[in-house]
Amino acid sequence: MQRRVQRDPRSPRAKRLTRVLVCAVAVPLVAAGCSSDSGSDDGKDKGASASASQSASPSPTVRAAAYGTLPKPCEVLSEKTLDDLVPKAKSGKEGSSDDVSTRGSCSWSSLDNNGVKGSQFRWLNVSLLRFDSDTTRGAGDELAQEYYDKQVRDVQSAEGAKGTKSEPVGGTGDEATAVRYELKKKEGTFKQQTVVARVENVVVTVDYNGAGLAGDKTPDADDLMKDAQKAAEEAVGSVTKVNGTGAAPSGSASASPSKSASGSASKSASGSASKSPSESASKSASKASSKS
């Protein structure tokens, strides 16, 4: 009987067969590994691309406000102007403010007693309101423009006003409007003059009224209006001066605003000034009359 010859595993033919089998098994594993690595790289590339896209998106910005501060309200008018408008006023009374860099006001009362002929009363109030830029609400000058328009409308619709007239005023800030009307009070007939002006991101409101008390003649409205416009022009000049020529913008263009430009500013905007100038003047007139 013949026995089958066993092949020597170390023979050249057996070695070649072994190498073929090893390569056949290794190829799918390498391919699978490459496929897995390729998918991982794709995920990283997509994540990096999304991250780059997000970082490239610009943050919201808004034009910076031109003016960053306000003058002291009781110092916006010269002594000469005060002597002309409120000759008997001893000093101004500054209104309350939680942030003097964004809002302020000052008022003066004058009673010129002419004895049996009566007396001449004058009341003057200057209010200042500054708006910062806000990435949500807009640029400071635009916010000031909105408030300016509202302020003019409010003055034109004052309660109890008679014979209301309005006219634009040139040479006072970027824009200005003068409003005049009469108010009859128990003390007499008050001639009310209000000038609302805007310069950049600041709104200036000047209230000036006069009355002849205890039988004295009623003051001329045209003369009062000229004085009110003079005071408004001077107050606007003080705002510009305190911020310097070519004043640097207030804060960065994309910075959040201070509380001033928010709702709180509008609530206390002109305080006692344009909210009800006739009431303030009437009270001042009553006090002045009782002292005389």
Give the whole-angstrom CA distance, residue 53 versus residue 46.
Answer: 11
Sheet holding 103-113, edge to edge: 93-94, 103-113, 119-130, 202-213, 188-199, 175-185, 162-168
pLDDT tens column, 81-101? 999 999 999 899 999 999 999
pLDDT score for 95: 96
pLDDT score for 254: 37
Q: Does residue 161 carry a pLDDT above 80?
A: yes
Q: Does residue 29 carry a pLDDT above 80?
A: no
Give the whole-angstrom CA distance, residue 145 versus residue 13.
Answer: 97
pTM here is 0.71
Higher pLDDT, 115 or 229: 229
pLDDT score for 45: 56
pLDDT tens column, 183-240? 998 888 999 999 999 999 999 999 999 999 988 999 999 999 999 999 999 999 999 9
Helix (H, G, I), strand (E, B) or coil at 94: strand
Q: Does residue 56 carry a pLDDT above 60?
A: no
Give the whole-angstrom CA distance, residue 291 versus residue 1.
Answer: 152
pLDDT category, 41, cuts 50, 70, 90?
A: low
Range with top average pLDDT, 4-8, 110-114, 115-119, 274-278: 110-114
pLDDT score for 266: 40
Give the whole-angstrom CA distance, residue 81 versus residue 160.
Answer: 29
Give the whole-angstrom CA distance, residue 194 versus residue 212.
Answer: 19
Query: Residue 91 gets which letter from DSSP?
Result: S
pLDDT score for 284: 59
Range with top average pLDDT, 53-67, 213-227, 240-254, 270-284: 213-227
Give the whole-angstrom CA distance, residue 231 versus residue 277.
Answer: 16
Q: What percent of the chain has pLDDT over 70?
A: 63
pLDDT score for 115: 80
Query: Residue 243 gets which letter from DSSP?
Result: T
- State mean pLDDT over 268-289: 52
Q: What percent of the chain has pLDDT over 90?
A: 58
pLDDT score for 256: 38
Of residues 126, 72, 94, the one with CA closest to residue 241: 72
